Amino acid sequence: MTICTLGVDLGKNSCSAAGLDTTGKVVLSRRMRPSTIPGFTAKLAPCVIAMEACCGAHHLGRLLAAQGHTVWLMSPEYVRPYVKAQKNDDRDAEAIAEAATRPTMRFVEMKTQDQLDVQSLHRVRSQLVGARTNLINQARAILMERGIVAPQGRQKFERALDAMLADTDRLPEGRIRRFMMETREEWKTLDDRIAALDMEFLELTRTDELARRLLTIPGIGSLNATALAAAVGDASTFERSRDLSAWLGLVPKQYTTGGKPKIRGISKRGNRYLRTLLIHGARAALPSLAKSETPLGSWLLGLLARCHYNTVTVALANKLARIAWVTLRRGDTLSIDRAAMPI
């Protein structure tokens, strides 16, 4: 039995493996526990091992690559069309193996442990920011039930809430006042944890070469730089700068039928977190860049004259993603004077 391609469908407690020979015929179908996969693959001759890019795939992929195998990771949405008839774990493994044999398949670059650790920190920070937002909204609703309308904006509301807690006439003694004091303490705790993570990301940009180069791009701060460096690496997976922006979902959707193309809004595919960071960074850098006497500034002024402000913001985010590709791929920084040139 000669296995040319091995597809592995990962699971928490049970995994399925399907092996294909050189003709694409299924010659192996087996179920095993995740911990036994390295021992099983160690007995096989070097082959292509394909998996979906899910939780645990990068760690297992590094172990299998150390055994001499070629490991390919794929997006689950690209594997789904190859599942035949009823879906089960064995057919999922067969679909993964078959998808890996397609010459047009797109693969995900295997990440290092350091990249995964940075991504985990970003997920923790995003969760903390969401928890803080929910806490603030809850506090606003409780105060509104008592006829107190809080001002808009997190910092304004923070100062207003501190003033209420310092004045017993505005917020009398009682259970609600004690609850608001507990809410304020929890709010401070979340602020401290978020600030600690921000400082950690700032320190990381001083030691990571890729993140330090990304900081030279307008609108790219420590959050954007570390998140891009962790998710994209050296951008060798993307052949063109547009491929990166398309992966981030910053390019327009296209619907073509009968030879009549229709261009719609951005596709919003790919990494939602990175796309959000880039758009926020573009929104912060847009006013200063539009005033600069550079080709990029002239390009932005032309867009602002005929497009909505939010549309220009997304267009600038797309431009920043392309500049980031050049910075990561070529190993140098891109001058703002050249930023409006075709990339």
Please tell me the total count of domains within the chain.
3
Residues 73 and 88 in one domain: yes
Residues 246 and 304 in one domain: yes
Structure tokens given for 200: 């950690």
Cα–Cα distance, 132 to 146 (Å, whole number) = 22
Structural domain harbouring 291: 218-338
Residues 156 and 73 in one domain: no
Reported pTM:
0.86
Distance of CA 316 to the CA centre of its chain: 18
Task: Look at residues 175, 207, 239 and tell me which one is the last residue of a structural domain.
Answer: 207
Cα–Cα distance, 320 to 334 (Å, whole number) = 11
Cα–Cα distance, 319 to 329 (Å, whole number) = 15
Residues 131 and 100 in one domain: no
Q: Which residues neighbour 326 within 8 Å (Cβ) at sequence distance 6 or greater?
A: 241, 334, 343
| Position 212 in a domain | no
Per-residue pLDDT in tens (0 to 9) along the chain, 343 residues: 689 999 999 999 999 999 999 999 999 999 999 999 999 999 999 999 999 999 899 999 999 999 999 999 999 999 999 998 888 999 999 999 999 999 999 999 999 999 999 999 999 999 999 999 999 999 999 999 888 888 899 999 999 999 988 888 777 778 888 999 999 999 999 999 999 999 999 999 999 999 999 999 999 999 999 999 999 998 988 999 999 999 999 999 888 888 888 888 888 888 899 999 999 999 999 999 999 999 999 999 999 999 999 999 999 999 999 999 999 987 765 555 545 444 4
Task: Look at residues 58, 79, 108 and tell me which one is the last residue of a structural domain.
Answer: 108
Pairing mode of beta strands 70-74, 48-52: parallel
Residues 133 and 94 in one domain: no
Residues 94 and 169 in one domain: no
Task: Strands of the chain (E only): list them.
Answer: 5-9, 15-20, 26-32, 48-52, 70-74, 107-108, 252-257, 260-266
Cα–Cα distance, 37 to 8 (Å, whole number) = 9
Residues 313 and 260 in one domain: yes
Task: Look at residues 57, 80, 108 and tell me which one is the last residue of a structural domain.
Answer: 108
Residues 230 and 324 in one domain: yes
Going by C-alpha positions, the residue among 72, 107, 332 that lies closest to residue 239 is 107
List phi, psi (to 5°) of 292. Answer: -75, 145
| Position 236 in a domain | yes
Residues 222 and 333 in one domain: yes
User: In this structure, what DSSP letter does residue 112 have?
Assistant: P
| Position 39 in a domain | yes
Residues 143 and 200 in one domain: yes
Residues 226 and 334 in one domain: yes
Q: Which residues neighbour 20 within 8 Å (Cβ) at sequence distance 6 or greater?
A: 3, 4, 5, 6, 7, 26, 27, 97, 98, 101
| Position 213 in a domain | no
Q: What is the CA radius of gyration of the chain?
A: 25
| Position 60 in a domain | yes
Helix (H, G, I), strand (E, B) or coil at 286: helix
Residues 198 and 225 in one domain: no
**Residue 255 identity:** Y
